[in-house]
Structure 1
Amino acid sequence: MTPPEPTGAGSQSQTLSRGIRALELLAEAENPLSIAELSEGLGVHRSIAYRILRTLESHSLVMRDDAGRVSAAPGLAALARGVSRDLQSAALPELSILANELSMTAFVAVWDRQNCVTLMTVEPTHSRTALIQRPGTRHSFTAGAPGIAIQSAMTEDQWDRLAPGQKYRSESRTARERGYAVSHNEVIEGVSAVAAPVTASGQLPAAVSVVYFGSGKDEDAMGLRLAETARRIEAALR
């Protein structure tokens, strides 16, 4: 699927924007936030932050503990299930096989304008040392194998049009030729990744990937295995 054309800031709802930003702050936080922390992060008075919170609470998107600290609520999980639903359904069994075969965390990342965002992730069943990759994790296309793989599925002209200001990496040309991408120490120091693009009609540009500590793995074999997984996911989406 060709990504939607980028849109300008234009006329936006400030209240809606603040509510969405509040959810982003909660998703990024390692621990629940106080009202004071939330208002500071939003750059608004506590009374405004409180009104935003009450609205989000009414939709089960946030919740407060006994101390009044705020965290994301289960309603967000229900919303997340609807994001690229078919892709998630097609990818889950393949990710489970891949994660346990390689003893690495396997995940699908999707295109999100300026960022590459983890849509879903599966950790190996019998490995306690696998690197954790959380859904919703995002990073710029300037770093990481998943972003390189997604770029490799687009022409440079497409990329320049759809992601203005973001460089088309030379590694993406190499990834297009061999069918997979590799990165080391780009998103997190000491962490490597291998990824292959997933392209299917009606779906956001995506990549299937694994992440692991260190280097020295047989990346060619891993890349070919990931490319095979990507083709299986694409076949399930037809």
Structure 2
Amino acid sequence: MDVRRASERYRGGDPAAGIESWHSLSFGPHYDPDNLRFGAVIACNEEHLGPGAGFDEHPHSHTEIVTWVIAGELTHRDSTGRETVIRPGDVQRLSAASGVRHVERNASRTPLTFLQMWLSPLKPGGEPRYEVVRGIADSTPYALPEAGAMLHVRRLTPGERTAVPAAPYVYIHVTRGTVRLDGEVLTAGDAARLTDEKDAEAVAEGEAEVLMWEMAAV
């Protein structure tokens, strides 16, 4: 188990434009050859956008992009003509496939915080796809077969335990609260990377929300 603290992430973004980014893996100008990916996960970015701030239209390809809003509302518009507003509890997924362009913005009057996770597809190419699951229920897995991955969302009550999937790779990110994972205390923004771990479990030390990526061997 490899624990990565929120304070260890790379800082990016453009604070003058109301954009603050925190990167968990090598990303953009923050190149770290020892931290390029974990399993299928190639990026895990926590983004903070002030009111009116956002990312202008930009391209993606050959990437599975999953977005989870922690607080606020995210407005998404892409080159296929879709425009949606994503809120806490929604799972947004954009399969960039052979290529797509999109805009992400905080069109509200309150701050926005969201986690965006990029996964490498098993096969490149194909047609772009877009999906939003509104208000995904606790313990409901979200399958991402294109990347050989499954997302587990857990909202834990104080003292509640949750099993960690037994898989070749598991990426755990705490979005709210505090959990204890095999003796390690993880708070909001902390992550753990587990390889071939079995019988691991997380215990909430208060109200907590945890995202867990279960991934097949690369």
TM-score, normalised to structure 2, is 0.27
Name the one with the larger strand percent. 2
Bigger-Rg structure (1/2): 1
Larger RCO of the pair (alpha carbons < 8 Å, separation 6+) = 2
* Greater helix proportion: 1
Q: TM (normalized to structure 1)?
A: 0.25
